């Protein structure tokens, strides 16, 4: 019991310490070192879709096998509040875009596949449920996309399977901002 006051004093002292400022001749750490920022990321533009397998209603598939139509890939999980918030907008996007855009919402949950199906059903995400429940329980896809992948992250691939951009964080996929971003998949190539 006599060590408790000493422990509390040390914790209080440690909490009060201010991080050292960089010397005047040294720049502050770059924002990239702080991790991914919410919003658009074009740093992977032109990279092919990863050739890793994940499940689609328990069958293995690869994004790299899907060509001919732009594909929007959303990485989400049942425990991720921003993911759950944006899922209904992805569901509506499926009906708005129809066959002009593949929407692939890939759960990163490691639990049984039936739980992902039940979750989509519980939220009444009928369009996503009709497409089929995609799941990446071993996180092969997110691992191949890079160590800084956070949830939710959404990637747009063009009809040739090349990355157009990534969006980090949640977005209303039926909003004007999203429509402008999605139009980039069918924009003519510059060069």
The residue extents of the domains of the chain are 39-185
* pLDDT for residue 187: 55
Instruction: Of 123, 56, 63, 58, give the one whose Cα is nearest residue 92.
Output: 123
* pLDDT for residue 15: 32
* pLDDT for residue 8: 35
* pLDDT for residue 146: 85
Query: Residue 70 in contact with residue 102, Cβ under 8 Å?
Result: yes
* pLDDT for residue 190: 47
* pLDDT for residue 118: 94
* pLDDT for residue 33: 53
* pLDDT for residue 120: 94
Contacts 24+ apart (CB under 8 A), 89-95: 89/171, 89/172, 89/173, 89/174, 89/175, 89/178, 90/125, 90/128, 90/173, 91/125, 91/126, 91/127, 91/128, 92/127, 92/173, 92/174, 93/173, 93/174, 93/178, 94/127, 94/128, 94/131, 95/127
The pLDDT mean for the chain works out to 82
39-185: CATH superfamily: Glutaredoxin (3.40.30.10)
* pLDDT for residue 108: 95
State the 10-residue block means of pLDDT for the chain, 191 residues long.
Answer: 39 33 43 70 95 88 84 96 97 93 94 93 93 91 87 96 96 97 74 41
Instruction: Of 177, 180, 182, 153, give the one whose Cα is nearest residue 167.
Output: 153
């Amino acid at each position: 019991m006599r060590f408790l006051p000493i422990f509390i004093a040390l914790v209080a002292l440690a909490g009060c310490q201010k991080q050292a400022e960089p010397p005047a001749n040294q720049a502050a750490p770059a924002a990239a070192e702080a991790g991914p920022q919410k919003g658009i990321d074009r740093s992977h533009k032109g990279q092919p879709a990863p050739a890793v397998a994940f499940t689609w209603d328990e069958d293995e598939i690869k994004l790299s096998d899907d060509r001919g139509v732009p594909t929007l890939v959303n990485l989400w999980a049942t425990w991720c509040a921003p993911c759950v918030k944006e899922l209904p907008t992805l569901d509506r996007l499926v009906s708005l875009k129809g066959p002009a855009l593949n929407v692939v919402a890939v759960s990163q949950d490691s639990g049984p596949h039936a739980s992902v199906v039940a979750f989509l059903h519980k939220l009444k995400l009928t369009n996503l449920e009709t497409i089929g429940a995609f799941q990446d329980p071993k996180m092969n896809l997110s691992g191949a996309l890079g160590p800084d992948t956070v949830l939710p992250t959404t990637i747009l691939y063009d009809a040739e399977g090349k990355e157009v951009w990534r969006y980090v964080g949640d977005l209303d996929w039926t909003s004007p901002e999203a429509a402008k971003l999605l139009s980039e998949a069918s924009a003519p190539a510059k060069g």
